[in-house]
Amino acid sequence: MLDKLYLLAALPLLAAATVVPRNGGASAFAGATTTFAWPPPNVTATIPDANFPDATAIDAFGPTPTGDEPAAIATAPVLAPVNDVFPLSRPDTADHKGSKFDVLHQWGNLSPMFSVDADTFGLPHSSPLVPEGCGLTQVHLLHRHGARYPTSSSAPSALAAKVHNATAGKGFTASGPLAFLNEWTYKLGAEILTPFGRSQLYNLGVGFRVRYGELLKGFTDLPVWRTTSEERMIDSALQFAAGFFGVQWYQGDYHQLVEIEASGYNSTLAPYDQCANANNNISSLGGVQSNKWAAIYTKPTIKRLQKLIKGNLTLTSADIIGMQQACAYETVALGSSSFCSLFTEEEWEQYEYYNDLSFWYGNGPGNPAVAAQGVGWVQELLSRLTQKRITTFETSVNSTIVSSNITFPLNQPIFVDATHDTIISAIVTAMNFTNFDVNGALPTDHIPKNRQWIVTHISPFGANLVGQVLSCPASDTPTHIRFILNDGVLPLTGIKGCKADKNGLCAIDTFIKGMQARVDEIDYQYDCFANYTLPNVPILDGRYPPALRRNVTA
């Protein structure tokens, strides 16, 4: 493996636009892809332009004193939840029940992040607010990027191609609530943030400054925060910084470290590229298991919607998944989608479970190569908590980065790392938050009652996992730690030595010892590189069962 990094310091927020090639405009055929590019074609611009001097050149700002730093996480009587999705419309359902049911909360990893209820993870009396009598000494933020366009070869793009091909043959005619399909065109880009996705990370930065800004007073040097090299990751990190520091952050408020996200480069924020079993039939288990459920739940939906189509278009289970994903992607990209109201509340709940199965068996506790993918970041967390450098490199940890105090400082009051949905789910698996597997492996033929593993609550767009290092009672010496996922406090009882606590607290020395024990039991080399078949026993902690390893050749 190659250990390499990019270090960006004080980059300007405004960069030259990347112009996407145009395809000649909208097609008259349903399902055709339409695109738009900005700036307009043939526009050339010099930035900066002497005709348009920036504000620093004009230098007429007026008074600029700032107030004291906020610390709402420790001072507010009640914490304002994240629940606003402006400017997105809130979709209706096919059955129009008029209940409090929210379609936006049924999309799994495609849902916008919202504050989960206090009892979501089993601690109904907890709050993200610092517990009474405690003080905050340090915070660790791991966040996902904002809402994006679909990845390449997505289900909605496959649906569009199928619809478009149908028009090239004998054609079809859709009626009723599906009539929009006759003129529907595919308007989604690929991979990069949508405008709403940009706002999510900007707002996260603003919110984090309001909650934790007081900790800036503990810095003796500029912060170093990390992201990876994909465009949506860079943009998310910059939007977060703009929200946290203001749009003038590039004048020197922090350093942005960019880890290369590609095969051959170690990164704990994109560890799947370094784990062979994250890119083969082991990783495909999530798709296999979720498709078993899709084949069951989509049958009545296909029957109902097929009645609305005459001609050369026959719906399949994959098409229903494509339509439900199109609802999510079009909403976070275009503000609304006609696909959303095609489905009932029950069908949306079934789709949510489809995503839960995909993540449980592909990127969560039910896959034997997942804890190994998350363990590198856990090692870095322990390094930061103990202020001791990592010296053994057998996981996805980048030795070049973590060996330097310039690129991996250990004494920051605020740490910020940007990553992906599948890595957040891998990290909570590696950390052994056992509340998620309390009811065992997820079945593929029905939705179980009282399940804890719900991807909408774990890895939505803009998801964030926050580690609060606390002193209880308040002092300058850290005594406790706890973790908060999308504003829901997580119980730490799956970590050796950590006892049940209504506020999710664990003594920090106990946590460090227990988490080190968890790291030691994760066999990265074996789980990522051994040539094994999936065991015929349930996996609940993201590892290949140790008792069965003797029968497998590495």
Asked if residues 106 and 345 have their Cβ atoms less than 8 Å apart, the reply is no
What does the radius of gyration of the chain's CA atoms come to, in whole angstroms?
24
Q: Which residues contact 390 (CB under 8 A, 6 or more apart)?
A: 379, 380, 383, 397, 399, 402, 403
What span, in angstroms and rounded, lies between the C-alpha atoms of 373 and 432?
A: 13
What span, in angstroms and rounded, lies between the C-alpha atoms of 225 and 234?
A: 11
| Residues carrying an active site annotation | 145
What span, in angstroms and rounded, lies between the C-alpha atoms of 175 and 182?
A: 9
Give 372's DSSP letter: H
Alpha-helical segments (H) within 409-466: 421-430, 455-458
Q: How many helices (H) and strands (E) does the chain have?
A: 15, 11
Q: Kindly report the number of other CB atoms within 10 A of residue 444's CB atom.
A: 18
* Residues β-bridged to residue 256: 8, 225
DSSP code string of 86-146: TTS-----TT---SS--GGGSSGGGSBP-PPPTTTTT-TT--SSPPTT-EEEEEEEEEE--
What span, in angstroms and rounded, lies between the C-alpha atoms of 17 and 223?
A: 28
Asked if residues 7 and 398 have their Cβ atoms less than 8 Å apart, the reply is no
